[in-house]
Amino acid sequence: NAGVTQTPKFRVLKTGQSMTLLCAQDMNHEYMYWYRQDPGMGLRLIHYSVGEGTTAKGEVPDGYNVSRLKKQNFLLGLESAAPSQTSVYFCASSQTSGADTGELFFGEGSRLTVL
């Protein structure tokens, strides 16, 4: 049972390039999330999804887009990367929301550097 898998694990981009991070979960979870983790800033929610075909903005959505075409996958896109998007990105999934002890299961993270 793989849990939550993120690809790629590492990527270096030049300013202005685009890329997509893929998150896949095999637990049939309804909810999926994308967070970024920066030193001294903790985890900040970028976008999330409460089910297949749905997406919603989190705390820091600007510069990112997401899609949830299949229940098991949640894609995070950067259309025109900026150095401020250098970060470690974490995907997470849960069966229910945090209001119902919805335990989040995290991937191992994707380290993105934008030069």
Partner 1 sequence: GEDVEQSLFLSVREGDSSVINCTYTDSSSTYLYWYKQEPGAGLQLLTYIFSNMDMKQDQRLTVLLNKKDKHLSLRIADTQTGDSAIYFCAETSPRGNLIFGKGTKLSVKP
The contact set with partner 1 (CB under 8 A) reads: 4, 33, 35, 40-43, 45, 48, 56, 58, 90, 92, 97-104, 106-109
Q: What is the dihedral of CA 18, 43, 25, 14, to 10 degrees?
A: 20
Least spacing, CB of residue 8 vs partner 1, in Å: 15
Residue 78, H or E segment: strand 73-78
Q: Considering the complex, what minimum distance in angstroms separates the CB of residue 102 from partner 1? A: 8
Closest separation between CB of residue 22 and partner 1, Å?
15
